[in-house]
Homo-oligomer: A and B are copies of this chain.
Amino acid sequence: MKKTILVASLILSLVFTWLPAIANAAERVDIIIRGGTVVTMDGTSRVIENGAVAVKGERIIAVGTTSDIAAKYTAARTIDAAGKVVMPGLINTHTHVPMVLFRGIADDLVLMEWLQKYIFPAEAKNVDEQFVRWGTRLGCLEMIQGGTTTFVDMYYFEDAIADETARAGMRAVLGETVLDFPAPDNKTWDAAMAYAETFAAKWKGNALITPAIAPHAPYTVSTDHLKQTHSFSQRLGVPLVTHIAEDQAEVKTIQERYGASSVAYLDRIGLLDERVIAAHMVWPTSDDIITLAKRSVGVAHCPQSNMKLAAGAAPVPQMLKAGVAVGLGTDGAASNNDLNLWEEMDTAAKLHKFTSKDPTVLNAREALEMATIRGARAIHQDKDIGSLEGGKRADLIIVGMDSAHQTPVYNIYSELVYATKASDVETVMINGRIVMQNRRVLTIDERSVRVKANEYRDRIRKSIAAQ
């Protein structure tokens, strides 16, 4: 009798030992990240304690508890995330990345003095293809170190920016800026549009880079030219990135010129649709907000930039309520002065409590959504990024949770939005590739970037002093 039980239990134990192994053999993946608190940001806001993420190639295969994932998958490589958070990479919905080379060049000034005395002369004298290459390297370095995996850019020489961004292993929507003035890369409208066409054709379909057209703003691009950019966006199926309703001066100009608010005017000329990513949107009317929702326009909210330039506070709670897709952006480092989305989350949550006179407005989870899944919706890529779900692109970050400033942890969303810093991000994966491991960026040579940035600083200083 005892012998029978012994044999039976031996058989059972063999079955239980081998079954998972057989199942595992059936599905082999590249990387399993396990043991962490997985903050999925999915439709049900699932948070999985002792969770795991299985990654194969460029995509997430599955998300679940560590034991579930271990039962179904084996991997060549496992990463232990015990005591850490595994979450989607952050999405910076608005920046001008090469402008990091102008970081802090001129602060605490009124917009026109800032632009005309510093930024325009500095750009005219210094911005060329090499400038944007080094600026993009520096900007990508900072963004990767802070857990940003996707950004939306508006600048010049976007083909070079695309090249450097892809080398850094980052995901981006890159909008070649076109406007009714000579730009550092193209001196005429037609040349700029031709450049954009070549650029878009070259990068369309790339796994990381989404080329886009970026008419600067409704007050710097004529109605005819704006219509051209919309046709371009439709014809090539690429996003249209622009600034809308950034400050009251713009709204006044558009009202005087076209007899309508910025949003109403752009809607009248047919610009607004589900390919548009509109930065700032500080001054939409209630009707404008309805229009934005109806046209599925994505909005990039830049709270720190808007405060620093005294532009105002965008009506974010109202836009969210109306169903507008609102993400977070840093704006360029010449105005903000960093590319840190942790601080934008924190500021957004606090700013809208303050302006609404209601501390329950824009809670921590909503602020984190704006930096992840809502940001993905704002840039029209929520099918692919913004949350940790099987089938999506493997864009994720591992965040340490045991710094003194994070201790102790009661609520994971509060902790991430109000206490966690960019320096707590440890490991960054974009499109299945690890680009930062234990705070070492693997795709960019940090030292050469620093040396070159300082050279540019010296040169730029001289160029401004000489004017």
Q: Pull 5 A–B residue pairs with CB atoms less than 8 Å apart, ordered by A.
A: A145-B405, A308-B353, A309-B353, A338-B405, A410-B457
Copies per complex? 2
Residue among A100, A104, A419 having the largest count of chain B Cβ atoms under 10 Å: A104
CB under 8 Å from chain B, chain A span 275-316: 304, 306-310, 312-313
B418 and A405 contact, CB distance less than 8 A: no
B residues within 8 A CB of A446?
404
The reply to whether the CB of A160 lies closer than 8 angstroms to some CB of chain B is: no
CB under 8 Å from chain B, chain A span 399-422: 402-411, 414-415, 418-419, 421-422
CB under 8 Å from chain B, chain A span 101-158: 101-111, 114, 138, 141-142, 145-146
Which 8 pairs from chain A and chain B are nearest by CB? A408-B457, A423-B423, A104-B414, A108-B363, A307-B350, A307-B354, A142-B404, A337-B418
The reply to whether the CB of A81 lies closer than 8 angstroms to some CB of chain B is: no
Question: Would A103 and B421 be within 8 Å (CB), given that A307-B353, A402-B450, A404-B141 are in contact?
Answer: no
B residues within 8 A CB of A107?
363-364, 411, 414, 418
Interface residues on chain A, size class: 35 or more
B337 and A110 contact, CB distance less than 8 A: no
B residues within 8 A CB of A450?
402, 404, 407
A103 and B404 contact, CB distance less than 8 A: no
A347 and B349 contact, CB distance less than 8 A: no
The digit string for A383-413, where 1 denotes a CB below 8 A from any CB of B, is 0000000000000000000111111111100
A421 and B422 contact, CB distance less than 8 A: yes
* Interface of A (DSSP majority class): helix
Which A positions have Cβ atoms within 8 angstroms of B? 100-111, 114, 138, 141-142, 145-146, 304, 306-310, 312-313, 333, 336-340, 343, 346-347, 349-351, 353-354, 356-361, 363-364, 402-411, 414-415, 418-419, 421-423, 446, 449-450, 453-454, 456-457, 461
Known pairs A108-B353, A304-B346, A408-B453 / 16 extra A-B pairs, C-beta < 8 Å:
A101-B408, A104-B410, A108-B359, A108-B364, A109-B359, A110-B360, A114-B359, A304-B350, A308-B350, A337-B418, A338-B419, A339-B405, A347-B350, A407-B450, A407-B453, A410-B457
B359 and A111 contact, CB distance less than 8 A: yes
Name the distance in Å between A133's Cβ and chain B's nearest Cβ. 15
